[in-house]
């Protein structure tokens, strides 16, 4: 029997550059595997920084300035991701693969139109 080819997934509201955001849209933030490693690392570093600031009873007003300096050092030192591809127009961490704080490379591929296909709103279409 001949194999039926699926229509391409372009035009689906869950489609993003060949990847599928359906699961993420269903349960936003639930699947940690989709997250950008660099942003995760920065978030952990921020939590640690806040704990230390609290332990050392740093004045509330001084916290943001201290963090800004620490963050500059952190961001310069290492990106913790071998797959990072610099893109000045992209959101933090200025990576070609980041989408809403997630790593596109970690999302499942869209294999073509499936039962979850939903047309994108006119302004969502690329
Ligand atoms: S490739 Fe880019 S988006 Fe993906 S984890 Fe690395 S820095 Fe984040
Ligand atoms: S068509 Fe299906 S697999 Fe492709 S992006 Fe849409 S929901 Fe995901």
pLDDT in tens, 34-55: 999 999 988 888 888 888 888 8
Q: Is the pLDDT of residue 75 over 80?
A: no
Out of 17, 40, 80, 81, give the residue to mutate to test ligand 1, the one with the largest number of ligand atoms within 8 Å of its CB.
Answer: 81
Q: Round to whole Å and give the CA distance between 70 and 31.
A: 29
Mean model confidence pLDDT for the chain: 88
How many helices (H) and strands (E) the chain has is answered by 3, 4
**pTM > 0.75: yes or no:** yes
The mean per-residue pLDDT over the stretch 76-87 comes to 81
Per-residue pLDDT band at 60 (split at 50, 70, 90):
confident
Q: Which ligand is nearest to the CA of 22?
A: 2
Residue partners of 92: CB distance under 8 A and separation at least 6: 39, 98
Cβ proximity of 19 and 100 under 8 Å: no
Residue 66 pLDDT: 86
Residue 72 pLDDT: 80
CA distances from 98 to 25, 26, 32, 90 (A): 16, 19, 14, 7
Residue 78 pLDDT: 67
The mean per-residue pLDDT over the stretch 65-73 comes to 83
Counting from 1 in the atom list of ligand 2, the atom nearest the Cα of 12 is 6
Smallest CA separation from ligand 1 atom 2, residue: 84
Smallest CA separation from ligand 1 atom 4, residue: 103
Q: Record the tokens describing residue 124, joined without a space.
A: 């969502």
């Amino acid at each position: 029997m001949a194999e039926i080819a699926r229509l391409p997934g372009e035009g689906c509201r869950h489609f993003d550059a060949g990847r599928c955001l359906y699961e993420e849209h269903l349960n936003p933030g639930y699947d940690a595997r989709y997250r950008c490693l660099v942003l995760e690392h920065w978030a952990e570093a921020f939590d640690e920084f806040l704990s230390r600031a609290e332990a050392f009873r740093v004045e509330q007003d001084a916290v943001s300035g201290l963090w800004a300096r620490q963050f500059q050092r952190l961001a310069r030192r290492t990106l913790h991701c071998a797959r990072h591809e610099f893109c000045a127009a992209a959101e933090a961490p200025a990576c070609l693969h980041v989408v809403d704080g997630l790593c596109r490379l970690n999302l499942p591929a869209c294999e073509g139109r499936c039962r979850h296909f939903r047309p994108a709103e006119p302004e969502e279409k690329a």
